[in-house]
Amino acid sequence: MALASPRILSGTDLRQLSQRSDWRGALRIGIHLALLIFAGALVAVAATPWQLWPAMLLLGLVQAALFAPLHETMHATAFASRRANAIVGWLAGCPSLMNWHFYAAFHLAHHSHTQDPARDPELTPPAPRDARGYVLRVLAVNYWRARCKVIADAWRGDLSAYPYIAAPARLRIVTSVRWMCVFAAAAALGSALLAGWRAPLIFWIGPQLLGQPFLRLYLLTEHTGCTHDANGLTNTRTTLTNPLLRLLMWNMSFHAEHHLYPSIPFHRLPAAHRLLRERLAVVQPGYTRWHRGYFRQIMSADRA
C-alpha cells in the first residue's frame, strides 16, 4: 500500500482518528437520501422541459455522488457495522451499475499499487493527453463501456480478464453483479408499470447520463499529474473545496490523507488533513482551477 511513512501520525493519533461511527454514517446517508428524494420530487413535478432538465441534472449529481458512500463502505469506514457497510455500499452502487463486490477488488488493487502503470487498474485507460481523450473521459464513455463489459463478463461467468480479482472471489462477484442487474431491471420495470414508460428515463437513465460527467471531472483530479511511485505524499492529490461539495462527496476531496491512512473514516478526514497538510506535496485549491490548468496543458500539447 502506498504509505509514505507510518510515523507521520502517531499511533495514538491514528487510533483516535480511525474510530468508526454508526450514527455518523447513518446521518450522512440520511442526508444523501433526503437530497435524492428532494431532487426526485423536483423531477416529478416538472411541468416543462425547462423545469425537467435542471431537475434531472440535480438528481443526476446526487445519484453520481452515491459513489462516495460506495467508496467509503468498501473500506468499511462508513459505519462501525460491517453488515451496514455491505448493504449500503451494494445499494449505493446499483444506480451507476458499479457493483460493490467488483469495486472492492478493483479499488484494493488501486490502493496496493497506486500510480503503478502496470498494476493500478485506475490507470486503464491512462489519463487523457489530448482534447479528444479529455472529452471522452469527461463524458463517461470509458466508464459506461467498462460497466457493460463487466456485466457481460459476469453473465458469461468469466472474470479472467481482471487480474486483480482472485480466483476464489470470482463466483461471489459474478453472483453479485447478476443480482445487481436483476435489481436494476426490476426497479426500472416496476417504475415504468407504476408511473409510465418515462419514469426510468427521467428518474434514472437521464440523470445518470447527466450526472456522471461531473463525477468524472471530480475523480480525474485525484492522481492525474502526480508522481508514478509509491510515495503517498506525492502520488495523490488533496483538493480544497467548499463545504457543500465535501458534504455531498463524504470528504473524499481529502484524498491524499485517505490514501496514506485508509482506516480513517470520512468524518475524521478534515482532522487528519490538519495534522498532515504540511507534509503533503500536492494540495490543489479548487477543482475548476485544476481543470483549467490541465486543459490548457493538453491543448498546448495538441498544438505542439
Residue pair 92/65 in contact by the 8 Å Cβ criterion: no
Q: Please report the pLDDT score of residue 301 as a whole number.
A: 75
Kindly report the number of other CB atoms within 10 A of residue 251's CB atom: 25
Q: What is the 3-state secondary structure (H, E, C) of 32-70?
A: HHHHHHHHHHHHHHCCCHHHHHHHHHHHHHHHHCCHHHH
Q: What percent of the chain has pLDDT over 90?
A: 95
Tell whether the model's pLDDT for residue 7 goes beyond 80.
no
Q: Please report the pLDDT score of residue 246 as a whole number.
A: 98
13 inside domain: no
Tell whether the model's pLDDT for residue 214 goes beyond 50.
yes
Tell whether the model's pLDDT for residue 59 goes beyond 70.
yes
Total domain count for the chain?
1
Residue pair 78/72 in contact by the 8 Å Cβ criterion: yes
Q: Please report the pLDDT score of residue 1 as a whole number.
A: 42
What residues make up the domain containing 43?
18-303
Q: Please report the pLDDT score of residue 304 as a whole number.
A: 65
140: left (phi over 0), alpha (psi -120 to 50) or beta: left
pLDDT digits (tens, 9 = 90+) for 174-192: 999 999 999 999 999 999 9
Residue pair 89/69 in contact by the 8 Å Cβ criterion: yes
Per the prediction, the chain carries an average pLDDT of: 95
CA distance 201 to 208: 10
9 inside domain: no
8 inside domain: no
* Mean of pLDDT values over 68-90: 98
CA distance 13 to 276: 11
10 inside domain: no
55 inside domain: yes
277 inside domain: yes
DSSP 3-state of 4: coil
pLDDT digits (tens, 9 = 90+) for 110-165: 999 999 999 999 999 999 999 999 999 999 999 999 999 999 999 999 999 999 99
285 inside domain: yes
Residue pair 94/100 in contact by the 8 Å Cβ criterion: no
Confidence bin at 6 (pLDDT 50/70/90): very low
Supply the pTM of this predicted model: 0.95
